[in-house]
Structure 1
Amino acid sequence: MRRFAKSKPQREPTIALINIVFLMLVFFMVAGTLAQPLDPDLKLVETRALEGQAPPDALVIYPDGRLTYQGAAQVDAASYVASLSDEDREIIRLVPDRALPAETLVALTRDLRAAGAQKVMLVTQRALQ
Structure 2
Amino acid sequence: MKRYTKPIHLPKPLAHRPADSSLALINVVFLLLLFLLVAGTLRPPLPEDFEWAQTTVDEGSGDIQRTLVLTRNGELWFEGVPLDRQGITDVLEDLGSDAGNLSIQVDKRTKMAEIAGLADFLQANSVRRLTLVTVEKEQP
TM-score of the pair, normalised by structure 1: 0.54
**Residue 48 of structure 1 aligns with which residue?**
51
Match of residue 118, structure 2, among 102, 108, 112: 108
Alpha-carbon separation, structure 1, partners of 2:72 and 2:52: 14
CA contact (8 A) 2:70 2:107 kept: yes
Q: Within 5 A, what are the aligned runs for 1:83-94? A: 83-85=94-96, 87-94=97-104
Q: Secondary structure at the match of 2:135?
A: coil
Give the letter for the 1:48 counterpart.
E
**Residue 64 of structure 1 aligns with which residue?**
73
Higher helix fraction: Structure 1 or Structure 2?
A: 2
CA contact (8 A) 1:63 1:97 kept: yes
**Residue 81 of structure 1 aligns with which residue?**
92
* Structure 2 residues without counterparts, runs of 5 or longer: 1-49, 54-62
Alpha-carbon separation, structure 2, partners of 1:96 and 1:88: 19
Give the aligned length: 79
Q: Secondary structure at the match of 1:89?
A: helix
TM-score of the pair, normalised by structure 2: 0.50
Alpha-carbon separation, structure 1, partners of 2:103 and 2:52: 19
Q: Secondary structure at the match of 2:95?
A: coil
Give the letter for the 1:92 counterpart.
L
Alpha-carbon separation, structure 2, partners of 1:108 and 1:79: 15
Q: Secondary structure at the match of 2:103?
A: strand
Question: Alignment RMSD, CA only?
Answer: 2.1
Q: Secondary structure at the match of 1:116?
A: coil
